[in-house]
Structure 1
Amino acid sequence: MQIRVHSYESMGTFDGPGLRYVVFLQGCPFRCLYCANPDTIDAVGESTLTDAEHIVKQAVSFKPFFGKRGGITFSGGEPTVQAKALIPLFKRLKEEGIHICVDSNGAIWNNDVEELWKLTDLVMLDIKEFNNDRHQYITGRSNEQPLKTAAWFEANNHPFWLRYVLVPGVSNFDEDLHALGAHFKDYTQLQRIELLPYHTLGVHKYEALGWEYKLKDVPVNTPEQKQHAEEILRHYFNDKLVVN
């Protein structure tokens, strides 16, 4: 099967442990208001149909740079949109001894996705908001399945990271941060929590697509806002919390 690839990053340092070969895939069921890659949302977009073996060869060529911690990361878009096509690719990567990481919103679940997770070494799970109403405002979808996906990781001893973007007036409510912490604080498979600042680096892409950026009046986080959110989450996660 061929895979719809949007783009690549040869030596990523923010998409999992160590140095990563990052493959950005096409297609996503979410419509996040602050999406940094809106050009990956459409199922086709400007993607290129790519043979799995091409990706394997590229990953193998970077293997000397991975060391003990690095590997390949699939991002997007939402990689699980193409779960069926990714399964044979992941099997080939496992044969080559390459660490596989997936950056996912956890919103899709079917037999192919479950098999894909079993072939994945680490998942970076993006929880957009713990409050379901606010999650639907941000993404257009419920957070029920992402939370079920996290529960599946915990029940099946599957390591994952949690990523949370702090958006002023959108996802920085104290009660929601406390609820998030209380929900996940006892998860043994949750290795790391990343608190990510809101940024507007993808706004020019909306302009290029002719789309309205609906958070244009939302400012970036102040140092005080980031520190306050960090203090709340640090109470639940201690040194598992990483603030970017």
Structure 2
Amino acid sequence: MKATAERAVTGRIHSWDLSTGVDGPGTRFVLFVSGCPLRCLYCANPDTWHMRDGREASVDEVMGEIETYRGFLATARGGVTITGGEPLLQPEFTGSLLHRCKQAGLHTALDTSGLLGAWASDGLLAETDLVLLDIKSFDVPAYRKLTGGRLAPTLDFATRLDRLGVAVHIRYVLVPGWTDDPSAVDGLGAFLAGLGNVDRVDVLPFHKLGAHKYDALGIDFPLRDTPVPGPELTERVREQFREHGLRAL
């Protein structure tokens, strides 16, 4: 009897792009998957919230696109980053894609809020060279108001990544009046300093570049009137992380 053909793994994706310097080392093939359980008030990609708004694509199809750039990505010391949306909302698709990228000799990065960290198997994380972990706030009530989700799963995931030895870059979006509280920043700095796998903390100033997407979707952009942080505030928060021995950019 002939062996049954391997089932094609598919997922819902929004788009893909090439980027340098913001989604992991080198030049990256960045895949935006569809679907996210959080509703961050500052989200720049509300068009990725719903899986139904994406299109179905197979791992083979995505790898075909990646193969087009594989030589260039290798030369540019880059790789592939899966972002969204929330990649761990589709763990089979994400895990299969990470596996195939590793087979192709490409550096892999996973951009996640960590809320669904329990959905990531150890096998999936073994295929992940770098996790870009978005910690939205270290203040539990503020986190809930800002995202609609819970902070604890993300911190549990961060601890698990440390135990597994998976390299992590922390992403911390700085929003005046929301994530600039000095005690919350210090609390996060102390937590991260207790982990041995955090290579850096990226303090990302809040921006409104996605406001037009809210307009196009006919939904309210909650932080439209919130000011963007100035350089002094941004540097103050970075310095707070540095005081805990962390490399903050």
TM-score range, shorter chain: over 0.9
Counterpart position of 1:136: 144
Q: Distance in 2 between matches of 1:166 and 1:10?
A: 25
Are the equivalent residues in 1 in contact too, given 2:37–2:86 (CA < 8 A)? yes
Counterpart position of 1:14: 22
Where structure 2 has 5 or more consecutive residues not aligned to the other structure, the ranges are 1-8
Counterpart position of 2:240: 232
Where structure 1 has 5 or more consecutive residues not aligned to the other structure, the ranges are none
Query: Which amino acid in the other structure matches residue 67 of structure 2?
Result: V
Aligned pair 1:175/2:183, yes or no? Answer: yes
Q: Distance in 2 between matches of 1:194 and 1:237?
A: 14
Aligned pair 1:119/2:124, yes or no? Answer: no
CA 1:165/1:112 → structure 2, altered by over 3 Å: closer, same or farther? closer
Number of residue pairs matched by the alignment: 240
TM-score (norm 2): 0.92
CA 1:211/1:114 → structure 2, altered by over 3 Å: closer, same or farther? farther
Report the 3-state secondary structure (helix = DSSP H, G, I; strand = E; otherwise coil) of the residue aligned with 2:11.
strand
Q: Percent identity?
A: 35
Query: Which amino acid in the other structure matches residue 151 of structure 1?
Result: T
Query: Which amino acid in the other structure matches residue 223 of structure 1?
Result: P
Query: Which amino acid in the other structure matches residue 44 of structure 1?
Result: R
Counterpart position of 1:63: 70
TM-score (norm 1): 0.94
Q: Distance in 2 between matches of 1:12 and 1:2?
A: 27
Q: Once the 2 structures are TM-superposed, how far is the Cα of residue 31 of structure 1 from its aligned partner? A: 0.4
Match of 2:99 among 88, 91, 94: 91
Aligned pair 1:24/2:20, yes or no? Answer: no
The farther-off stretch of 168-177 and 87-96 is: 87-96
Q: Distance in 1 between matches of 2:129 and 2:236?
A: 32
Aligned pair 1:160/2:168, yes or no? Answer: yes
Q: Once the 2 structures are TM-superposed, how far is the Cα of residue 220 of structure 1 from its aligned partner? A: 0.6
Are the equivalent residues in 1 in contact too, given 2:91–2:119 (CA < 8 A)? no
Q: Once the 2 structures are TM-superposed, how far is the Cα of residue 111 of structure 1 from its aligned partner? A: 5.2
Match of 1:147 among 152, 155, 161: 155
Aligned pair 1:37/2:45, yes or no? Answer: yes
Q: Distance in 1 between matches of 2:97 and 2:48?
A: 20
Query: Which amino acid in the other structure matches residue 63 of structure 1?
Result: R
Are the equivalent residues in 2 in contact too, given 1:12–1:21 (CA < 8 A)? no
Aligned pair 1:212/2:220, yes or no? Answer: yes
After superposition, the C-alpha distances for 1:140-197 in whole angstroms (9 at most, x for unaligned) are: 0110000000000111111111010000001100000010111111321111110100
Match of 1:48 among 29, 48, 55: 55
Counterpart position of 1:105: 113
Are the equivalent residues in 2 in contact too, given 1:12–1:19 (CA < 8 A)? yes
Q: Distance in 2 between matches of 1:158 and 1:176?
A: 25
CA 1:159/1:102 → structure 2, altered by over 3 Å: closer, same or farther? same
